Amino acid sequence: MDIVEFFQQSAGKWSSMRTSHHLAFKQQEAGKSNIQIELLDKTDPAVIQLCQQYNVDPATAACGARVSWDGTMDWDKEKHDGTTVLVPVANPDNPKEGTLLREMGYAEKAPVAGSYHINETDELTLVTEYESMYSKERLWFESPNVRLRHSILKRFGGFSMASFCSEIRLGVAKPDEQTSDTAAADAE
C-alpha cells in the first residue's frame, strides 16, 4: 500500500471513538466524533494552495484529502469541529516515505509539515516535530471498514499523552469492500 492507496482506503465517513491517556496525571478522557475524509485530486485548488503555502511544487503532490470532524470530548463537553487539508508529497526515491503537509497541526493550530512512512504491514506512521513538542501517530486498517490509530505526544522531551482511536466506517461500503471485509474476517 502506498500513500495514495492509504488515502483512498481512508476516504468516506467514519464513526470514531477516541481516548486520551494523560500520562502525568494518570487520567483518561473519552471522546466521540464523526469524521469525513474526502479525497482531493492533486489539481484541486485547495491542494495547490497548501503546496504554495509550503513552497512546494504542486506537481510533486501525491494526492490530497479534506478531513472534517465533529465531536465531543468528555472533560469540556464542548463541540470540537473543524476541517483541514492534508497533502502527502512522496520522496522521489521511495514512494512509501515522504512529507505530509497540513493546513493545521493536530497538536498545535499552526501549519506544520510532518514526515510519514508506510511499513511492510501497511501501517502509516506520521511524525511531527513542533518547537517544544513531538508527536508520533500510527494508523492502520484492521479491515477495509475498521481503521485504528494510536499516537504519543511528548512535551519538552517527556511523555505527555498517549491516545487511541477506533474508527468504524459509516454507511454502506462498496460491494467489493463488503465482500473482502467478510472474507478477511472469516479467514481470521
Among 143, 173, 177, 180, binds a second copy (CB under 8 A): 143
C-alpha grid cell, residue 107:
497538536
CA atoms within 13 A on the CB side of 159: 12
Contact 151, 137 (CB under 8 A): yes
CA atoms within 13 A on the CB side of 51: 22
Q: Find the angle CA(30)-CA(36)-CA(42) to the nearest 5 degrees.
A: 135
Binding region for a second copy (CB under 8 A) out of 21-29, 36-44, 63-71, 80-88? 21-29
The site map against a second copy for 1-20 (x = CB under 8 A) is --------------x-x-x-
From the CB of 1, what's the least distance to a second copy, in Å?
17
Helices (H) and strands (E) in the chain, counts: 3, 10
Contact 29, 20 (CB under 8 A): yes
Residues 88, 101: Cα–Cα separation, whole Å: 6
Contact 96, 117 (CB under 8 A): yes
Site for a second copy in 99-138 (CB under 8 A): 134
Is 72 one of the binding residues for a second copy (CB under 8 A)?
no
From the CB of 58, what's the least distance to a second copy, in Å?
32
C-alpha grid cell, residue 146:
475498521
The site map against a second copy for 157-186 (x = CB under 8 A) is xxx--x-x-x-x----------------xx
Size of the site for a second copy (CB under 8 A): 27
Nearer to a second copy, 48 or 146 (CB): 146
Which stretches of the chain bind a second copy, using CB under 8 A? 15, 17, 19, 21, 23, 26, 28, 30, 32, 134, 142-143, 146, 148, 150, 152, 154, 157-159, 162, 164, 166, 168, 185-186, 188
